[in-house]
């Protein structure tokens, strides 16, 4: 049991005077398959060893008392009084409560304290960890009987409807279905998935955090989603079989290119190519071909930079620097874009040179102190035994 869990447990008991249910809710990485989830495509995420931890206990009334330990902030609301707050962070909690009640969950009031070590705005899905983690905790606390898939979907809808970010379901599903040492090959249309082992690969996963506050991220993310939807509507004029970009082929795209808005064409082309890269990446992992996998990661970054236009100079500088290091299989930006982290696949023997190279790049090109995280692939959301 780590110090953070013990601190949270102690503070909850001191604040509320009762024994809580403890839940761990992990962040996630996504090896490849960016901006494909809301296009009903393929992704390759995994839960990691950075997490949000919850302590929750029922109340005898219909009031909810929240404490965000890392922010040293608190908030209260009633189950029948769910209105978005200008303070921001309570909306992730209230959005989950709203979805649980809409789905027929019979809730009572509750006390909730949470904190964690997932870097905020770094592309590790801290918001999904809060949403799915709380939904899981309340499902356990009140014995609501929802499945993991239902928990993931309600967590996504909380972010869509209450927070206002039109995310797909990848983050939430990776959160609840994560398995140690395995990537999740997820079909975001059917929600079918299988696990792809990683533990036997001679590679470490290292994230480099640009430390850029992503004010543009939510608005530009929603814009990219609308542009993809515009591409779908374009093809629906000619094909009754098209329901998402998943149904559009490269041949169809090229045949109609001259009739399309050039920006919409580029967005669609990226998504189609990225889906192909995910399928190739799964084959590479199963075959142990990390050289081929690394090439796909770099191609993914170039597509995000040039066709989807969600990268930024800091992300590009980090990927460029990593790509020059012998023993780095591949690197790319990860997450919504405009900041956040790069994900790097590095041979263990190359770690010292990689870390020094990235430290120099941070200081000389980003003018910032280096911030690197080595992450391990861990289990999904679960109850902690105290």
Q: pLDDT value at position 33?
A: 98
Distance CA 124, CA 335 (A): 7
Q: pLDDT value at position 245?
A: 98
Vertex 220: Cα angle to 217 and 226 (nearest 5): 140
Per-residue pLDDT tens over the stretch 17-61: 999 999 999 999 999 999 999 999 999 999 999 999 999 999 999
Tell me the average pLDDT across 101-123. Answer: 94
**Claim to verify: residue 52 and residue 36 sit in the same structural domain:** yes
To which residue do tokens 């036997």 refer? Answer: 200
**Claim to verify: residue 77 and residue 131 sit in the same structural domain:** yes
Q: pLDDT value at position 123?
A: 83
The better pLDDT of the pair 292, 164 is held by 292
To which residue do tokens 């998504």 refer? Answer: 271
**Claim to verify: residue 164 and residue 249 sit in the same structural domain:** no
Per-residue pLDDT tens over the stretch 305-328: 999 999 999 999 999 999 999 999
Q: pLDDT value at position 386?
A: 86
Lowest mean pLDDT across 6-10, 71-75, 121-125: 121-125
Per-residue pLDDT tens over the stretch 190-209: 999 999 999 889 999 999 99
Q: pLDDT value at position 16?
A: 98
> If you ran DSSP here, which 8-state letter would residue 69 be given?
T
Residue 380 lies in a domain: no
State the pTM of this model: 0.93
Q: pLDDT value at position 288?
A: 96
Closest CA to 63 of 108, 24, 31, 5: 108
Q: Which residues lie closer than 8 Å to 11 by C-beta, 6 or more apart?
A: 55, 67, 69, 113
CATH number where 364 lies: 3.30.70.890
**Claim to verify: residue 242 and residue 264 sit in the same structural domain:** yes
Per-residue pLDDT tens over the stretch 231-265: 999 999 999 999 999 999 999 999 999 999 999 99
Lowest mean pLDDT across 212-221, 263-272, 350-359, 373-382: 212-221
Residue 386 lies in a domain: no
Distance CA 135, CA 154 (A): 8
Q: pLDDT value at position 1?
A: 66
> If you ran DSSP here, which 8-state letter would residue 89 be given?
T
**Claim to verify: residue 57 and residue 84 sit in the same structural domain:** yes
Q: pLDDT value at position 214?
A: 64
The residue among 177, 199, 221 that closes a domain is: 199
Phi, psi of 222 (to 5 degrees): -60, -35
Closest CA to 158 of 200, 95, 210: 95
Distance CA 236, CA 242 (A): 6
Phi, psi of 326 (to 5 degrees): -65, 130
Taking phi over 0 as left and psi of -120 to 50 as alpha, with beta for the rest, 196 belongs to beta
Active-site residue set:
171
The number of distinct structural domains making up the chain is 2
Sign of the torsion angle spanned by Cα atoms 373, 377, 381, 386: negative
The better pLDDT of the pair 164, 188 is held by 188
Distance CA 272, CA 161 (A): 27
Q: pLDDT value at position 216?
A: 53
Domain, as residue range, for 55: 3-199
The residue among 199, 232, 263 that closes a domain is: 199
CATH number where 48 lies: 3.30.230.10
**Claim to verify: residue 274 and residue 195 sit in the same structural domain:** no
**Which token pair is 122?**
């770094």
Q: pLDDT value at position 199?
A: 87
């Amino acid at each position: 049991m780590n110090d953070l869990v013990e601190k949270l447990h102690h503070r909850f008991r001191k604040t509320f005077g009762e024994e809580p249910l403890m839940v761990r809710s992990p962040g996630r990485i996504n090896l490849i398959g960016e901006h494909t989830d809301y296009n009903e495509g393929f992704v390759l995420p995994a839960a990691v060893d950075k997490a949000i931890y919850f302590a929750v206990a029922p109340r005898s009334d219909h009031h909810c008392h929240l404490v965000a330990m890392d922010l040293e902030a608190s908030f209260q609301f009633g189950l029948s009084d769910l209105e978005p707050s200008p303070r921001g962070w309570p909306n992730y909690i209230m959005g989950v409560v709203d979805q649980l009640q809409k789905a027929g969950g019979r809730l009572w009031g509750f006390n909730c304290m949470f904190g964690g070590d997932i870097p905020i705005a770094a592309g590790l899905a801290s918001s999904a960890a809060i949403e799915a983690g709380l939904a899981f905790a309340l499902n356990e606390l009140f014995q609501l009987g929802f499945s993991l898939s239902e928990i993931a979907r309600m967590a996504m809808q909380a972010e869509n409807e209450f927070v206002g970010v039109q995310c797909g379901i990848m983050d939430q599903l990776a959160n609840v279905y994560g398995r140690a040492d395995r990537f999740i090959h997820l079909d975001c249309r059917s929600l079918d998935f299988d696990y792809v082992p990683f533990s036997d690969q001679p590679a470490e996963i290292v994230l480099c955090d640009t430390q850029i506050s992503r004010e543009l991220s939510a608005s530009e993310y929603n814009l990219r989603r609308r542009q993809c939807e515009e591409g779908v509507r374009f093809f629906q004029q000619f094909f009754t079989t098209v329901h998402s970009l998943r149904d559009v082929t490269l041949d169809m795209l090229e045949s109609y290119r001259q009739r399309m808005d050039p920006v919409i064409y580029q967005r669609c082309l990226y998504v189609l190519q990225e889906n192909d890269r995910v399928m190739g990446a799964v084959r590479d992992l199963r075959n142990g071909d990390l050289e081929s996998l690394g090439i796909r990661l770099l191609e993914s970054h170039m597509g995000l930079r040039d066709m989807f236009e969600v990268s930024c100079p800091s992300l590009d500088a980090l990927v460029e620097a990593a790509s020059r290091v012998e023993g780095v299989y591949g690197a790319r930006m990860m997450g919504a874009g405009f900041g956040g982290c790069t994900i790097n696949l590095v041979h263990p023997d190359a770690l010292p040179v990689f870390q020094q190279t990235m430290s120099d790049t941070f200081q000389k090109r980003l003018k910032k102190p280096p911030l690197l995280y080595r992450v391990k692939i861990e289990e999904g959301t679960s109850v902690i035994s105290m």
